[in-house]
Amino acid sequence: PGSGDDWKESVLYQLYPPSFKDSDGDGWGDLGGMLEKVDYLAELGVGAVWIGPVCDSPMEDNGYDIRDYYKIHDAYGTMEQLEELIAKLHERDIRLIMDMVINHTSDEHPWFEASRSSIDNPYRDYYIWKPPGEDGGPPNNWRSFSEESAWELDEATGEYYLHIFDKKQPDLNWENADMRRDLYEMIRFWLDKGVDGFRLDAINMISKDPSFPNAPEEARHPRGQQFYKNGPRIHEMLRELHEETFGRYPGTLSLGEAPTVTMDEVVRYTAPERREMDMVLQMELIRLGKDFGNPWKIDPDWSPVTLKESVVRWHAEVFGQGAYATYLNTHDHPRMIGTLFGGAAGKSEAQAGDLNQAAAKAIGTFLHTLPGTPLVYQGEELGMPNANYGSPDDYRDKATVAAYKRRTDEGEAPEDVLRSLHARSRDGARSPMHWTGGERRGFTTGTPWIPLSPDGVEANAEDERADRNSVFHHYRRLIELRKQSPVPAHGDLTMLPLEDDWIFAYIREAEGERWMMLVNFSAEPRECPVNAEWARLAEAGELLLGSAPAHAGSAGAGAPFRLSAGQYRLHLLPYQSAVYRLD
């Protein structure tokens, strides 16, 4: 591909390696499987594919625990296959983005093995070691994401090491210049291979408060986060990283994962003149409806008003100054279709199928017409369900398995715990991709590493590619529209006020072109009065895309805008969505 930056305005696709496609029957997705599906990605039309970590790893966290940055994990294949994947994607004008996990390594990485061996080993300072606290326990009260202490005592030297994530994922010490130099060299190795950019895992956590203070006991989970997220030297560190690595390779993309970040910080991270990163992930939408004081609960008071507010704030405070990627699904959260937007409970199977299909299209319409670069997570473009596992044995994620054990040991009813795992576990989004409706969904000939989703067989690539009304073609068309108009990538946003909170109506405008979007976020039909001017504009406009073909067009029964007794009203079917180009 050319060295231009245009592709940065295209649609990004997240591919989760273990669950994408298995080519050798061992039950794990692999590079061979990705190679088989390059044409599928080209048909969908995405501009870049972010593949989750594929480096050698003991797989305690599906590769987010790297043992060797220079080697492909055996179950995924070989370096030659990765090179072939880059070449094949490039032939189709698709870029490859790797997941760069550099806040921490695996505890089996040779650096850590050397580091833990003795206090004066040259690698000691590559990680964060502290003597026990005054009471002989951990150096402070920080908690890891797995809900235990963030410090692990290592018998060999009697000191504790810091791990923000699992104890198998010790944090690297970014204060150490030798460590940073070794990381930069490794990143350049991948850039020299032709990788087009990186998704930088947990990148806003690399600078820790050097005094490692205790957090208030009642602080939100995970306790201590204010002392290592967006820390004191973060901008300086990111600038050096940019200068030493991707900044030297024009046209590459750096996409930062920065959990818990203010919008001011996002602008500082991504304003082009600051030369830190190109984009960060907008992590607010994905968190809506989830109780973040408790990693296993859905917030019962969730309302679409918060969603609208988030979209509007990011547009007002970040769009145009900094850059962000917008997503509604990813490998760390249950799929939206099964949680917030899958209101199929209590409906017949046929009704539920229609509703899910409409909901999947609504999610797609919304995602691709919001400000920000859309990021589609594998299977979302098929409307794949959130896997509703029936047994605790179906789960693979370590934190999920540990939470089940702890909570049932503490006396909670197993069925209650299972229900909350379904609502919040990361495994719901990690079930294997549905390539066909047949045996093992065409994912593998062996036993998948994690069970197939118990439902949602009808959402599969083979059937949907053949059906013009499918979720797949809805996504394909949305991606194509982005290539044909400046509106999705550059348009200003105006939310249209409506009496009904569940309906989103908004206008985006760029270079004199205007689009109007309508999305019903509820499982019920909705209606409310609507301003006559918008109704006339939409009726005179061109329907670019609608989720309910029978209800497109103007004025007919089922049209969204209806005039009666001199008053326009907006009527939307459950999860109906539409995109109009206005004259």
Binding residue for ligand TEU, selected from 107, 171, 196, 201, defined by CB under 6 A: 201
Binding pattern for the stretch 285-324 against ligand TEU, x by CB under 6 A and - elsewhere: ----------------------------------------
Examine residue 196 and tell whether it contacts ligand TEU (CB under 6 A). Answer: no
Examine residue 476 and tell whether it contacts ligand TEU (CB under 6 A). Answer: no
Closer Cβ to ligand TEU, 276 or 397, answer by number: 397
Closer Cβ to ligand TEU, 334 or 385, answer by number: 334
513 labelled catalytic: no
Examine residue 58 and tell whether it contacts ligand TEU (CB under 6 A). Answer: no
Instruction: Write down the least CB distance from residue 145 to ligand TEU, Å.
Output: 6
Tokens found for residue 214: 């205790």
User: How far is residue 292's CA from residue 114's CA, in Å, rounded to a whole number?
Assistant: 37
Instruction: Write down the least CB distance from residue 384 to ligand TEU, Å.
Output: 19
Nearest residue by C-beta to ligand TEU? 64
Closer Cβ to ligand TEU, 97 or 523, answer by number: 97
Binding residue for ligand TEU, selected from 9, 108, 175, 332, defined by CB under 6 A: 332
Instruction: Write down the least CB distance from residue 116 to ligand TEU, Å.
Output: 20
Binding residue for ligand TEU, selected from 35, 38, 44, 101, defined by CB under 6 A: 101
Closer Cβ to ligand TEU, 17 or 491, answer by number: 17
Spell out the alpha helix ranges (H) of 129-262: 177-192, 234-244
Closer Cβ to ligand TEU, 18 or 442, answer by number: 18
Q: What is the amino acid identity at position 301?
A: D
Examine residue 202 and tell whether it contacts ligand TEU (CB under 6 A). Answer: yes
Examine residue 259 and tell whether it contacts ligand TEU (CB under 6 A). Answer: yes
Contact 575, 341 (CB under 8 A): yes
Chain CA centroid to CA 306, Å: 19
Strand order through the sheet with 159-162:
129-130, 159-162, 151-154
State the DSSP H helix or E strand holding residue 96, giving kind and residue range, or none if neither. Answer: strand 95-100
| Parallel/antiparallel/unpaired status of strands 492-495 and 503-510 | antiparallel
Instruction: Write down the least CB distance from residue 98 to ligand TEU, Å.
Output: 14
Scan residues 121-160 and list those touching ligand TEU (CB under 6 A). Answer: 145
Binding residues for ligand TEU, rule CB under 6 A, total 12
Instruction: Write down the least CB distance from residue 143 to ligand TEU, Å.
Output: 13
Give the angle 378-43-34 at the CA atoms, nearest 5°.
50
Task: Centre a 10 Å sphere on the Cβ of residue 299 and count the other Cβ atoms it contains.
Answer: 15
Instruction: Write down the least CB distance from residue 289 to ligand TEU, Å.
Output: 14
Contact 229, 164 (CB under 8 A): no
As a dihedral over the C-alpha atoms of residue 146, residue 151, residue 155, residue 156, rounded to 10 degrees, the angle is: 110
Instruction: Write down the least CB distance from residue 201 to ligand TEU, Å.
Output: 5
User: How far is residue 45's CA from residue 478's CA, in Å, rounded to a whole number?
Assistant: 10
Binding residue for ligand TEU, selected from 315, 426, 430, 514, defined by CB under 6 A: 426
135 labelled catalytic: no
Instruction: Write down the least CB distance from residue 506 to ligand TEU, Å.
Output: 28
Closer Cβ to ligand TEU, 299 or 332, answer by number: 332
Closer Cβ to ligand TEU, 106 or 373, answer by number: 106
For helices 177-192 and 234-244, give the axis angle rounded to 10 degrees.
Answer: 40
Contact 404, 417 (CB under 8 A): yes
For helices 398-409 and 414-424, give the axis angle rounded to 10 degrees.
Answer: 150
Closer Cβ to ligand TEU, 202 or 323, answer by number: 202
Examine residue 61 and tell whether it contacts ligand TEU (CB under 6 A). Answer: yes
Contact 485, 305 (CB under 8 A): no
CA distances from 6 to 253, 319, 489, 569 (A): 11, 17, 11, 40
Catalytic residue among 61, 257, 278, 380: 257
Q: What is the amino acid identity at position 412?
A: E
User: How far is residue 457's CA from residue 494's CA, in Å, rounded to a whole number?
Assistant: 38
| Parallel/antiparallel/unpaired status of strands 48-51 and 12-15 | parallel
Radius of gyration of the chain (CA): 24
| Closest by CA position to 417, among listed 431, 428, 407 | 407
Catalytic residue among 22, 154, 201, 500: 201
Examine residue 284 and tell whether it contacts ligand TEU (CB under 6 A). Answer: no
Instruction: Write down the least CB distance from residue 478 to ligand TEU, Å.
Output: 25
Examine residue 64 and tell whether it contacts ligand TEU (CB under 6 A). Answer: yes
Closer Cβ to ligand TEU, 61 or 500, answer by number: 61
Examine residue 247 and tell whether it contacts ligand TEU (CB under 6 A). Answer: no
Binding residue for ligand TEU, selected from 13, 16, 165, 327, defined by CB under 6 A: 165
CA distances from 355 to 472, 473, 547 (A): 16, 17, 11
User: How far is residue 491's CA from residue 370's CA, in Å, rounded to a whole number?
Assistant: 9
- Categorise residue 555: left if φ over 0, alpha if ψ from -120 to 50, beta otherwise: left
Residues that bind ligand TEU (CB under 6 A): 61, 64, 101, 145, 165, 201-202, 257, 259, 331-332, 426
Residues marked active site are found at 201, 257
